[in-house]
Structure 1
Amino acid sequence: MFVITGVTGKLGRAAIEDLLTRVPAGEVAAVARDPRKVADLAGRGVEVRHGDYEDPASLRAAFTGADVLLFVSSPDITPGVRARQHGNVVDAAVAAGVGRVVYTSATGADDGQGFLADHTVTEELLAGSGLPHTRLRNTFYMEVLVNPGLRAAVDAGELLGADNGVPVNLATIADLGVAASVAVSGEGHAGAVYELRGPVWTLADLARTVSEVSGKDVAYRPVPVEELGRAGFVHQLIASGLVSQPSADLEKLIGRQPTGLRAAVEEALR
Structure 2
Amino acid sequence: MIAVTGVTGNLGRIVIEDLLTRIPASELVAVARTPSKAADLSERGVDVRAGSYDDPASLRAAFAGVDVLLLVSSPDITTPGIRPIHHGNAIDAAKAAGVGRIVYTSAEGAANGQGFLADHTTTEGLLRDAGVPHTILRNTFYMEALVNPGLRDVVSAGELPGADEGRPVNLVTIRDLALAAAATLTGPEHTGVIYELRGALWTVADLAATVADVTGSPVAYRAVPAADLGGIAFVHQIIASGLFDETAPDLEKLLGRPATTMREAVQGVFS
Please give the TM-score of this superposition, normalised by the length of structure 2.
0.98
Superposed, 1:47-62 pairs within 5 Å as 47-62=47-62
Unaligned residue ranges in structure 2 (runs of 5+): none
Match of 1:184, SS state, is coil
Where does residue 140 of structure 2 map in the other structure? 139
Q: Give 2:85's aligned residue.
A: 84
C-alpha displacement of 1:17: 0.9
Tell me what 1:187 maps to: 188
1:42 corresponding residue in structure 2: 42
The secondary structure found in structure 2 opposite 1:207 is helix
Q: Which amino acid aligns with 1:230?
A: G
> In the alignment, residue 171 of structure 1 is paired with which amino acid?
V
Q: Matched residue of 1:140: which SS?
A: coil
SS at 1:268 equivalent: helix
How far did residue 82 of structure 1 move?
0.8
**What displacement does 1:229 show?**
1.6
Shift of 1:19: 1.1
State the match for 2:13 in structure 1: 13
* Cα separation, 2, equivalents of 1:116 and 1:186: 29
Give per-residue Cα distances to partners, 1:30-81, cap 9 Å, x unaligned: 0000000000101111000010000000000000111100000001022111
State the AA in 2 paired with 1:57: A
C-alpha distance in 2, partners of 1:244/1:21? 34
CA positional deviation for 1:269: 2.0
Cα deviation, residue 244, structure 1: 1.2
CA distance in 1, matches of 2:180, 2:39: 24
Structure 1 residue 234, shift from structure 2 partner: 0.8
Whichever residue aligns with residue 54 of structure 2, its letter is E
1:107-256 matches, within 5 Å, as 107-256=108-257
Distance 1:130 1:186 in 2: 19
Task: Give how far 1:147 is off.
Answer: 0.2
Deviation at 1:187, TM superposition (A): 3.1
Root-mean-square deviation over aligned CA pairs: 0.7
Post-superposition offset of 1:115: 1.0
SS of residue in 2 equivalent to 1:185: coil
Paired residue type of 2:80: P
Q: CA deviation at 1:186?
A: 3.0
Question: Unpaired segments of 5 or more residues in structure 1?
Answer: none
Give the superposition deviation at 1:213: 0.8
Aligned to 1:31: 31
Contact 1:22 1:185 in 2 (8 A): no
The 8 Å contact of residues 147 and 269 in structure 1, kept in 2 or not, is answered as no
How many percent of aligned residue pairs carry the same amino acid? 65
